Amino acid sequence: MKNKFILALLMVCVFAGVAFAAGIEERIMRQWTRSERYAREGEQAVELRITYYSAEYIEALVQAEAEKNMWTSDELERYKYNLLRTLNLDENIAFHVDLNVLGSPMYLAPMDRFFKLRVGGKIYDASDYDKTFNFRLSGRRDGMIWFPRFDERTGRNLLENIRDIRMTILSHFSLATSGRGDLMFIWDITRDDPSVLYRGRAADMLELDRLMRRMEKLTNDRRDLENQLRSANNELDTINERIEELQR
C-alpha cells in the first residue's frame, strides 16, 4: 500500500511544477529554474518557467518529499527509484516546462518545433515531450520535455566536460514573444555531479532494471541468430543434397 501511495505521489509531482517547489531551498530553485513573463498589450501574456533536472535539484526534491511525508529510508529510496526511472536520465536530459497563458490562447503543436537544446555548440531536437502541450493552451499547463543525453552519431555523453547548456525557444512560439528574437535560457552545470544520484538502494534497483533489459535484448538477439543459423544450415543441407545428386 505504501509503495502504491509513493508511486501515485511521484506521478503528481513529476507533472505538476508547483509541487516541486514546496520545501526546496530557494537557492536551489534559483540555480535550476528560469522564469520570465512576456506580454503584448491587449493580446496575450505568457508566464514561462523552465526547470532543469540537475542532480542537485533531484536530490533536493527527494529530501523535501521525504521530510514532508516523514518517509522511512526505504520509502525514500523507492520514491527516488521511481522518480529516476520516470525521468529516464540514463538516456535523456530532462526539463519541466510550466506555462501560464493569459488572453489569446497558444498553439504549440508540435512542441518540438519551438524548443531546442544547445550543448557544446550543437543544437539538438527534443526526443520526447508531454503531448498535452499539443492542445490549445489557455491558462496553466505544465509537463516534461526531454532531449537526448548521447550524440546519435558518436554515442558520446553530451554533458561530459560541458560548462553550460542552453535552451532556445523560437520567438514565434507565442504572440507575446513574436518579434523579440529567440528566447534563451542558460544553466551552468560545471558543479553538478550526476553520479550522486546513483548511490544507495535506488541505484541498485536501477542497475537491476538496466541489466534485465540488457538480458532481454541479448536473449532476443541470440534467438534471432539461432534462427538465422538454423536457416543457413537447412539451406546448406539442401545444397549438399543437390550437389550429390548432380555428381552421381
Per-residue model confidence (pLDDT) at position 166? 95
> Distance between CA 119 and CA 154 in Å, rounded?
15
Q: Mind listing the pLDDT tens digit for each residue in 8-60? A: 445 445 444 444 445 567 788 788 999 999 999 889 999 999 999 999 999 88
For the residues 157-185, what does the mean pLDDT come to?
Answer: 91
For the residues 205-215, what does the mean pLDDT come to?
Answer: 72
Q: How confident is the model at residue 5 (pLDDT cuts 50, 70, 90)?
A: very low
| Ranges 74-78, 99-103, 222-226, most confident | 99-103
Residue 91, number of CB atoms within 10 A of its CB: 12
Q: Which long-range contacts (CB under 8 A, 24 or more apart) does 229-238 make?
A: none
Residue 85, number of CB atoms within 10 A of its CB: 15
> Distance between CA 133 and CA 112 in Å, rounded?
10
Compare 200 and 82 and report the one with higher pLDDT. Answer: 82
Q: How confident is the model at residue 72 (pLDDT cuts 50, 70, 90)?
A: confident
Q: Mind listing the pLDDT tens digit for each residue in 116-156? A: 999 988 999 999 999 999 999 999 999 999 999 998 888 88
Instruction: Write the DSSP symbol of residue 150.
Output: B
> Distance between CA 244 and CA 150 in Å, rounded?
54
Residues of the chain with pLDDT > 70, as a percent, come to 88
Q: Is the pLDDT of residue 112 over 60?
A: yes
Domain ranges of the chain: 2-196, 200-248
Q: What are phi and psi of 192, to 5 degrees?
A: -85, 130
Per-residue model confidence (pLDDT) at position 18? 40
Q: Is the pLDDT of residue 199 over 60?
A: yes
Side-chain-side CA neighbours of 114 within 13 Å: the count stands at 22
Contacts of 189 (CB under 8 A, 6+ apart): 52, 54, 159, 162, 163, 164, 165
Residue 50, number of CB atoms within 10 A of its CB: 22
Per-residue model confidence (pLDDT) at position 90? 83
What's the pTM? 0.73
Q: What is the mean pLDDT of the chain?
A: 85
| One-letter amino acid for residue 190 of the chain | T
Q: How confident is the model at residue 102 (pLDDT cuts 50, 70, 90)?
A: very high
> Distance between CA 163 and CA 22 in Å, rounded?
28
Per-residue model confidence (pLDDT) at position 127? 94
